Amino acid sequence: MVQGLDKTWLELLRKGAREAGLYMLAGAAALGVATGSAPAVQAQGLTEAQYQRLKSEVKKELAEEGGTDLKVKWKGAPELSSSDGKFKFKVRGRLNVDYNGIDQDEAITGDPDVSAVELRRARIGVEGVVFSDVGYKFEIDFAGDGASVKDAYIEYSGLPFDITVGNFKPYNSLEEMMSANYLTFMERAAFIEAFGLDRLIGAGLSYDQNKHWTLSAGVFATTPESDQVTFYEDGTTFSSRLTVAPINEERRVVHLGASVRQRDAAGEPRDGVTENLFRYRARGADLHLADRFIETPYIGESDTFWGLEGAVVWGSFSIQGEYSQNKVDVASSIANVSPTYDGWYIDASYFLTGETRPYKDGVFGRVKVNNPVFDGGGWGAWQIAGRYDVLDLSDQAAAIAAGGVVSCAACGEQKTWLVGVNWYLNDYTRLMLNVNQSEIAGGINDGAEVTGVGMRAQIDW
């Protein structure tokens, strides 16, 4: 044990750390002295030899008591972890502030133009790891003057495959599986909304240990988390997805994928009124504040979805597309038909500033900006993009209406062109501009042209 003044210092450090219950305070104090200049150390009444002995004693004491068990890493927000990596904790969130200006072709559709702002997403949550193998995520969205649970699950990764239980995305579609933080356009392709691809409560198995392929499968409830008390008996959803990346290198990726989903509608509603059948619809111009100009009534008692995916990244250039079909079993009380609806898109994008789209575990992730905008020091990343998006809900519209139970007056086809520019100020912040136009064919809105402009300011952490 050191003697004199340095012993007094050590005892004070010990006492303060014990009272706080955290020996990391002693480590922080020792580190602060260690990084000070020689005059600063001397100003505390310590000689260099006394200081070195003090430092050694603090380290020894901390080692005996378990050490400084905290690491901090900045990933948009501080991520706290234990020194052995067995425990991690991070506050996460995102904010999307949008403007939509939309000409809804009122002369045909009867719907007035839109010029409005919204908080498209306003989420806060936590994620972390407990004892190395158990992960968790919980996130709530406060957008839309309400609160809704998004990801809320527990995941065990101690096996060759991961086991996930909770509220999360079933395994379908490249764009659906990607975080909205990393989408090229403001909204996903129209078929994703139309065919009801969204989070559900369930359990799944996924394998992603090989960088060249992934395989996932799960069973879920059919009713979204927000409607779980609506029905006496829930339906069942099965989904599975396979991805293959024969080329998966930095700045060079070839992605191929396929997924399937089968689901049955929920049973009797508790209020005796709420519809328990599926309906299919999407917003015009691929903008969130637009009205829907093609849609079916509530008709489906079950449906089967399948989709194909493809993407290529070559340096700063990327091309991506998906094709999907959804075969619907219409309730026999409505009509004895099984229409097949389909949707597909193809898009291309290019980074003018040299960045690329990172790829991992069957999805594209966060763009790494080469020259962030910081104190006027960089231009950020600039990306230009275009898309053609098609959704067809017209199959057997006449036969559905012929039963006389429902009308299929808005069962039609929507074709949408989109052009976008994205400015990434840094890895976590971007501004987006989309210019879109939808052409409607069939149904009561036949011939309508819905044109819109969307702008977004986005940050996540």
In whole angstroms, what is the distance from residue 156 CA to residue 175 CA? 25
The whole-number average pLDDT for the span 341-359 is 98
pLDDT of 32 = 43
Which pLDDT score, from 0 to 100, does residue 429 have? 97
Query: Quick one: pLDDT at residue 252?
Result: 98
**How many whole angstroms from its chain centre is CA 323?**
21
The Cα 182–Cα 364 span in angstroms is 7
For residue 363 the two structure tokens come to 């999805």
Percent over 90 (pLDDT), the chain: 79
pLDDT of residue 145: 84
Q: How much is the pLDDT for 7?
A: 53
Whole-number pLDDT of residue 46:
63
The pairing of beta strand 213-221 with beta strand 252-264? unpaired
What distances in angstroms separate CA 128 from CA 89, 131, 134, 154, 387, one per listed residue? 4, 10, 8, 10, 36
Q: Which of 57-66, 229-238, 330-339 has the lowest mean pLDDT?
A: 57-66
- pLDDT reading at 162 higher than 90: yes
User: Strand locations in 51-87, DSSP E?
Assistant: 71-74, 78-81
- The torsion of the CA quartet 34, 35, 39, 40, rounded to 10 degrees, works out to -80
Pick from 35-49, 227-241, 312-326, 371-385 the range whose average pLDDT is largest: 312-326
Tens digits of residue pLDDT in 33-90: 334 444 444 545 567 777 677 767 766 665 565 556 788 988 788 899 998 989 999 9
Read off the pTM: 0.84
Model confidence pLDDT, tens digit, residues 255-288: 999 999 999 999 999 998 889 999 999 999 999 9
Average of pLDDT values for 314-335?
A: 98
For residue 148, is pLDDT > 90? yes
Residue 2 has pLDDT above 50, yes or no: no
pLDDT at residue 444 greater than cutoff 90: yes
Mean pLDDT (the chain) is: 90
Tokens of 219: 């069973």
Residue 375 has pLDDT above 80, yes or no: no
- Is the pLDDT at 406 greater than 80, yes or no? yes
Q: Which residues pair with 382 in a beta bridge?
A: 423
Residues in CB range of 37: below 8 A, 6 or more apart:
none
Q: Which of 69, 68, 84 is nearest to 31 (CA)?
A: 68
**CA 291: distance to chain centroid?**
24
| Alpha helices (H) in 88-151, listed in sequence order | 106-109
- Lowest pLDDT segment from 263-277, 282-296, 350-364, 412-426: 263-277
Long-range contacts of 127-135 (CB under 8 A, 24+ apart): 127/89, 127/90, 127/92, 128/87, 128/88, 128/89, 128/90, 129/81, 129/86, 129/87, 129/88, 130/86, 130/87, 131/86, 131/87, 132/85, 132/86, 132/158, 133/157, 133/158, 134/158
